[in-house]
Structure 1
């Protein structure tokens, strides 16, 4: 799918992404790519894939995970949903369905089809938040560590990239076991977000 995408205008590329049907036959609720971006976005948020509520509303992180993420970043909903400030490109753009222990992983077809072409257009990004194991695997390919180890090593990627756990309520146990995350990383993240958005 990447062939020829570089020649498209930004608007046409985004239009094609939003009309994507690559996984139509395997998505339980059909395709509805949920992304947010502008060529002047300053912060990139890389999540996993939309959940059911996000699929229904078409608004990324419009759920308890989003509330926690905005708190970690120290920003309001208005700021979060301002595409001039924040781009949101999950690893899979459509809701993949639910498995035994929560939502299924992002569809594997999505990132190879669109990711490089979209990232190449985001030339103003100063800070990338890499959230969850699937995002880590793509954006930190040389890390080769478990998610907790990647997050614990956040200073080695600072100040342009921050590996993070998923803000889902399902990760409450992880947060209790790793209090350093909210004690050390979150205050630094809030400061960096404020600096980038200036």
Structure 2
């Protein structure tokens, strides 16, 4: 079933006309990366240009930082028996005229995510990365700082993180508790799950 669903998502071209109108004028290239029953799910926003080219989620410097935050190796992260990666949109949405990433197209979530989430099941750890993913998966809106600061109040095994982009370096400096309190807890939880897998 996983292979069939990934095959269908991989052929999706719902956003082809929209992507053709972006500054990048690219074709859709969905990057589905999940499997039923994985103990860890990373819910991100949308692939960037490097992920679009390589066909692997978080295949960039942001991914390096995210893996460091989780305390997980490159090999473990890309082991689909351990980790499913479910972005809010499976394709790189393109850049606007100023070179900024466009938001994840809602139609991708509307078309695929109920089926994908049902297929993955209930992971032991959910790592929800970035504001778009937070709104979609948890229905939370508001300042990122407040949402992440409430990390102890989320469901057990659920961690809400800012996007690991270098653009958030300033945010990290202003909120030292993120690295001193939240990340050690995340690493312990992920480590325990990996050790029992």
TM > 0.5: yes
* Alpha-carbon distance between aligned partners in 2 of 1:167 and 1:51, rounded to the nearest angstrom: 13
Task: Report the Cα offset of residue 117 of structure 1.
Answer: 0.5
Match of 1:121 among 99, 119, 122: 119
Name the structure 1 match of 2:169.
172
Name the structure 2 match of 1:140.
138
Task: Report the Cα offset of residue 178 of structure 1.
Answer: 0.9
Name the structure 1 match of 2:84.
87
* Alpha-carbon distance between aligned partners in 2 of 1:11 and 1:60, rounded to the nearest angstrom: 17
Task: Report the Cα offset of residue 101 of structure 1.
Answer: 6.2
1:26 and 2:24 matched: no
* Alpha-carbon distance between aligned partners in 1 of 2:176 and 2:99, rounded to the nearest angstrom: 24
* Alpha-carbon distance between aligned partners in 2 of 1:123 and 1:46, rounded to the nearest angstrom: 13
Matches within 5 A, 1:32-111: 32-99=29-96, 100=98, 102-111=100-109
Aligned length: 189
* Alpha-carbon distance between aligned partners in 2 of 1:96 and 1:121, rounded to the nearest angstrom: 24
* Alpha-carbon distance between aligned partners in 2 of 1:181 and 1:116, rounded to the nearest angstrom: 31
CA-based RMSD:
1.3
Q: Deviations over 1:106-146 (max 9, x none)?
A: 111100000010000112511111111100111111x3332
Structure 1, unpaired ranges of 5+: 1-8
Match of 2:2 among 3, 7, 10: 10
* Alpha-carbon distance between aligned partners in 2 of 1:177 and 1:107, rounded to the nearest angstrom: 31
More helix by share: 2
TM-score between both structures, scaled by the size of structure 1:
0.91
* Alpha-carbon distance between aligned partners in 2 of 1:123 and 1:110, rounded to the nearest angstrom: 19
Structure 2, unpaired ranges of 5+: 20-24
Report the CA distance shift for 1:85/1:33 in structure 2 as closer, same or farther (over 3 A).
same
TM-score between both structures, scaled by the size of structure 2:
0.92
Match of 2:193 among 179, 189, 196: 196
8 Å CA contact 1:38, 1:84 repeated in 2: yes
